[in-house]
Amino acid sequence: MTWLGQTWTGLADLVLPGTCAGCGAGGPGALCANCTRLLRGLRAHPVRPTPAPPGLPGCVALGGYEGALREVLLAYKERGRHTLARTLGDLLASAVAAGVRLAGPPAGTPLLLVPVPDTAAAARDRYGDHMLRLARRAAVRLNAAGWPAGLATPLSARPRADSAHLDRAGRADAAAGAFAPRTRELARMAEVAARGAVVVALDDILTTGATLAAVAGRLRASGVPVPLAVVLAATRRRAGSRTPSG
């Protein structure tokens, strides 16, 4: 069912006149001019869930999880519109650049980008790890701008049940056991970080912060500090997220 649905969606994207992933308007391309302008106008800003889980790094979000940004993320992640990876990866790169500047290190400090991994099942359903694809694009974009950025995948995601129905404490428990370390890559990362590279954890949406806290905790336990996490969107109700995006 999923396979058929995904295939059909992809096919529809190819052969039917385009609809904007942000607002549904008809027209050429995956995004209309208005939504493109809206997304490009977003400005990364610090966000913090309330309460923040222990060990959560400083977080920066490009925007709130609403409007065109929410629709585009859903279209990319859940409806198989992979052509949006380019736009979203570019937005992620700009959020990383802004986040690092806000966090203190000067522009140009070497970066190690660590996307939160999909479980194998999710990656299968989505025809590939959705954050890995965005992080790869973001790294290319940063490197093209003269900012050295590498991609690291030191964790794999263990199979897990959908956590959407869990409360905050349940999510934190589930997140803590969700990732398995790749020891050799972690050891290499620790060396690179010790020589001044800044590790940045990446995710698409910040809700409770449990996932990013778990990722940072896993890395920290292996001697890899994670001073910063960058997300594309943060859900509202979070302290700081009401900061005007302009």
Interface contacts to Zn ion, rule CB under 5 A? 20, 22-23, 25, 32, 35
Cα(155)–Cα(243) distance, integer angstroms: 32
Q: Which residue, 26 or 128, is less far from Zn ion as judged by CB?
A: 26
Q: Which residue, 21 or 172, is less far from Zn ion as judged by CB?
A: 21
Strand-pair category, 58-64 with 228-234: parallel
Nearest approach, Cβ of residue 20 and Zn ion (Å): 3
What are the start-end ranges of the H helices in 79-229?
Answer: 85-103, 120-125, 130-144, 168-176, 183-194, 210-221
Cβ atoms of residues 213 and 54 within 8 Å: yes
Quick one: 185 exposed, middle or buried, by C-beta within 10 A (0-12, 13-18, 19+)? middle
Cβ atoms of residues 21 and 81 within 8 Å: yes
Cα(244)–Cα(190) distance, integer angstroms: 36
Nearest approach, Cβ of residue 77 and Zn ion (Å): 18
Q: Which residue, 32 or 157, is less far from Zn ion as judged by CB?
A: 32
Nearest approach, Cβ of residue 83 and Zn ion (Å): 14
Q: Which residue, 28 or 106, is less far from Zn ion as judged by CB?
A: 28
Nearest approach, Cβ of residue 9 and Zn ion (Å): 18
Structure tokens at 127: 């025809």
- 58 has which bridge partners? 228
- 112 has which bridge partners? 150, 199
From the centroid of its chain, how far is CA 140? Answer: 15
Nearest approach, Cβ of residue 203 and Zn ion (Å): 24
Nearest approach, Cβ of residue 25 and Zn ion (Å): 5
Q: Which residue, 22 or 115, is less far from Zn ion as judged by CB?
A: 22
Q: Which residue, 35 or 226, is less far from Zn ion as judged by CB?
A: 35
Cα(245)–Cα(67) distance, integer angstroms: 13
